[in-house]
Amino acid sequence: SLSGMTLPLSPKVGPSIHIVSRQSLLSLPDSETASPLRDKNPARRHNLFHSVSWLTAAGLFGLLSIIVAFFSVFMLLANLLSERALLAELNHKVVYYDEVLTMSTLVAVYSGDLSWEERYLEAATNLDTTLLAIYSQLPEELTKSIRLNTDQANQDLVAMETEAFELVHVGNLTGAQTLMNCPHYKALKRKYAVGMEPMAAWLGEAVGNAKAFALEILVGFFSLISCVILLVSWLGFRSIRKFQHQIAEEKQQSAELLLNILPAHIIPHMSTLVQDRSSIVQEHNDASVAFIDIVNYTKMSTVIPVVKMFQLLHELICRYDLLCEDFGIIKIKTIGDCYMICTGMKKGERNPAHTMFRFLEACFDSLERFNNSHGFLYEQKWRVRAGVHCGLVVSGVLGTKKFCFDIFGNTVNRAARLESTGQPGRIHCSQEFKDSLDDFEAPLEYHSEMVVLKGQGEFLTYFVKRQSPGGQLELQIL
């Protein structure tokens, strides 16, 4: 559920997105969280328990009395209504089977599809069985009158419809259609319908009388039921408020979990994926993709215990996750010890390359604080390298079970190659990303050189040096 979030219903995502933290739900004022059961005044607490006990006992007694009385009335009314309801249902079946007979004949006559003959025969058998069941319940005089007016017409209709099917069997569709449209057939249908009207009228009157009698009996219970409802409502009011708080917290937890799996701008489209099983695909023409990888991670894993290594990696990834929230960066995934992020996928996002550059700078600063806090654990100083490229990417959600959000395109491949050919402590970028930084707020210095990227070819790439103490950024080539 997303009711705990203020997310727009359209794909547009901007600074207006606001996620309510669970702490804000739990930090309610004392008046909201304080319970009378925690009252330190013994007399007041005793009066509360005394009142609740009496009200609970009275409510249970009243509820039990109403249940017994209602059960008795229900048994009485059930015996009265069950027979009438059965007759009404049988009457509906008569109308239904009669319509099936007519429709099956007409469809077979006009389409030549003889498979409808089986449906016709089945409906005819069901109609005869239903009529016999109704006649056994009606008054004898009424049954005789109805059969006198309908039996002959019904037999004539069956004979004409059987003849129509025989014409269809020999391929004479024109003759069958003429037979079904003749005035005699239509007159028989009208005569049969008129003959069945007394049965429908008698059933309707019987059911109506039973309902009126049931209504008169039930009216006497309204006041008693209302009192019990009020009493139970009062007793359950506090429980309902507690449940509401629990539901709100559960919704918030669900919303936070969903946002940890998918970006906010994808969530409004999830109903399309789940209900229609159609794909969610979006193009982003000015996206910046970056990979951050830990240098010599495999070698360090042989020195540092596995559990400790995992804990350290988790701490570093959490630091990067917090930076993603601060800079509005979309985290795509972690691939082992490699951290993959992207900018430029939100509508209205300005200067995604600038945002990515600032984020990568912050990641290197955070790594320095990480190393200082652990004091070169096991004589291993953690270092990372980064590769970044900008261009067209395609984003989407894969699958409907344990679905995964991911991005694709040559931009992603180029960024991965730039990371793999990078150097520890440096940001390896492409010419396109460097051009996007031309209007950066700080001056840039760089040197160019051609570098061969595996599977990509020879490109002009740059190593971006972090901001120097003099306040300038330097772009250098390896």
Band of the pLDDT at 408, cuts 50, 70, 90? very high
pLDDT of residue 249: 83
pLDDT of residue 124: 86
Cα separation, 435 vs 354, in Å, equals 11
- Our measurement of the distance from residue 57's CA atom to the centroid of its chain's CA atoms, rounded to an integer in Å, reads 43
Over 80: is that where the pLDDT of 432 sits? Answer: yes
pLDDT of residue 387: 93
pLDDT of residue 22: 34
Across 1-5, 55-59, 421-425, the highest mean pLDDT is recorded for 421-425
What pairs with residue 395 in β-bridges? Answer: 282, 407
* Percentage of the chain exceeding pLDDT 70: 70
Over 70: is that where the pLDDT of 4 sits? Answer: no
98-120 residue pLDDT tens: 888 888 888 888 888 888 888 88
Least confident of 34-48, 156-170, 325-339, 449-463: 34-48
183-195 residue pLDDT tens: 888 888 888 888 8
Whether the CB-CB separation of 382 and 316 falls below 8 Å is answered with yes
What is the average pLDDT value for the chain, to the nearest integer? 76
Band of the pLDDT at 251, cuts 50, 70, 90? confident
